[in-house]
Amino acid sequence: MIKRILIASALLFSLNVSSGQVNKAAPHPRLVIGVVIDQMRWDYLYRYQDLYSADGFKRLLSKGFSCENTFLPYVPTYTAVGHSCIYTGSVPAINGIIANDWFDEATGKNMYCTDDSTVNTVGSNSAEGKMSPRNLWVTTIGDELRLSNNFQSKVIGISLKDRASILPAGHSANAAYWYDGSAGKWITSTYYTSQLPDWVNKENDRKLPDQFMSKDWNTLLPASKYTQSTKDDEPYEGSIPGEMSPTFPHSFSSIKNKYEAFRFTPFAVTYTFDMAKAAIDNEKLGGGDVTDMLAISISSTDYIGHTFGPNSVEAEDAYLRLDRDIADFLNYLDKKLGAGNYIFFLTADHGVLQVPGFLKEHDIPSGTYNASALKAALNKMITSKYNFENAVAAVENNEVYMNHQVISDDKALVNVENDIVDYLKKEPYVANAFITEKIATSTVPEPIKQRLINGYNPRRSGEIGFYELPAYISGGGKGTTHGSWNPYDAHIPLLWYGYHIKPGKTNRETYMTDISATLAAMLKIQMPDGCVGKVIEELMN
């Protein structure tokens, strides 16, 4: 009788695990999965809700915990900065990642955030793999997880974009993989390994980008369902590189460089999740005695958003397809790890502005300007007044970098900088301008001032900063971008689901920096060494 009871109990336990029920006795989550949706505005959670499936965003909202008012606490709101902040709990002033790229005075050239000339590409013959996290000055939550158990945990980053894979994974990551658009493959660098694992080679041998690009991109649902979008063909929308028409169906047959164009399709989202599943299966993530971590970033939403804008049919269709991919991935995790045995969080690195042309069409103030033309105008003004040639070295990330080889006299430099501030304040698209090292004493309103301070790094930032009027961007007549402090760029979704996370939501203001602090508390490990976030206590059981 006792033997039968034991057998029955074992069978019941097995059924509970296979059906996805929570193992309450689990001492720790088996796997932490972070999913960052590049350029996802917070309102997308609800804007397309009527067309979402039951198991994607709706599942996360109804069965998980939503931080409804999560903001980026710094500017500029760019991809590299966002991914760094999420996984370090830090800000550019501390972690050193002030933008996707910045002007480097020592070399007189732009520095890309993950450039590393000391490493080489692994997986292709291009230079796309000469990347590492060495420009990041602080640890990530993945670094701290590995440090907490003498490097027994596995940490892996996956994204189409190098910076969205490398920076989240951290310095001590087991691996980071990104997409080489010149080869149509997943690659890495010698920072991590000397050769790709067999399973990654097998993924590349499937040639999924070729398969996806052999068919057209049609809308997932009938066109009449897309009531949240403008008509399909608008003059202010861009087009996929190499495409003949910017409208549905998007035909890829005439595109020569299909691998680069692939980034601009929702099929690259499926491709990224497929790679994530392969990593979990082959690296046995979540299969050991310690917690592992997988950092996933979805990049196609950013390429599509920049090109077509938030009000496009393309953007709506991309999010409807993303929702299905998320549902499929969550179902996979339940079967693989057991529901409740993993921590899943979903957020974004930044939002995006509506296309200025669309806003103007509806009498909403908006506009564009040209940063290159601004640099030329500033140099012309300085040459005319002081006879200094090329005194402005660069205008990057809403900052002006001075050429100190041209102006070596400190008094002259102060005069020139003050003149630049005065010039900028008179520009019709500029809301305010200031000397960056004097932000704290400038007449800038809160909370903009604090975000500017958080974004200023004396070793990498320019000498003069400015921010635009709402809905003004540097760009052309098509598409849109991001980078500002405004809610359309800085208000992001933050959803938590899984291990010891209770359903619910909070409307109090939380910040991107709080993500790593909260993960550290849940995992009972040290916060990253540059973390300034606070624990979101409401979400934990």
What residues are labeled active site?
A: 79
- Report the amino acid identity of residue 527: M
Rounded Cα gap, residues 479 and 357, in angstroms: 8
Cis peptide before 445 (omega within 30 of 0): no
CB 75 within 8 A of CB 449: no
Rounded Cα gap, residues 60 and 296, in angstroms: 17
Rounded Cα gap, residues 486 and 509, in angstroms: 15
Instruction: List beta partners, residue 433.
Output: 466
Rounded Cα gap, residues 73 and 450, in angstroms: 8
Token couple for 523: 């995992």
Rounded Cα gap, residues 425 and 420, in angstroms: 9
101 φψ region: left (φ > 0), alpha (ψ -120 to 50), beta (else): beta
CB 85 within 8 A of CB 512: yes
CB 83 within 8 A of CB 164: yes
Residues 6+ apart with CB under 8 A from 312: 229, 230, 232, 234, 237, 304
| Burial label, 140 (beta-carbon count in 10 A; 0-12, 13-18, 19+) | buried
Describe the chain by its helix, strand, coil percentages, rounded to 5.
40, 20, 45
- Residue 158: its H or E element: strand 155-159
Rounded Cα gap, residues 38 and 155, in angstroms: 20
Rounded Cα gap, residues 166 and 462, in angstroms: 25
Residue 5 CB coordination number (10 Å): 9
Cis peptide before 27 (omega within 30 of 0): no
- Residue 93: its H or E element: helix 92-95
Residues 6+ apart with CB under 8 A from 253: 216
- In the numeric block, the tokens 């300085």 are attached to 382
Using only C-alpha atoms, the chain has a radius of gyration, in whole angstroms, of 24
CB 143 within 8 A of CB 171: yes
Q: Is 331 helix (H, G, I), strand (E, B) or coil?
A: helix
* DSSP conformation letters of 27-41: SS-SEEEEEEETT--
Rounded Cα gap, residues 334 and 176, in angstroms: 24
Residue 46 CB coordination number (10 Å): 13
Please state the length of the chain. Answer: 541
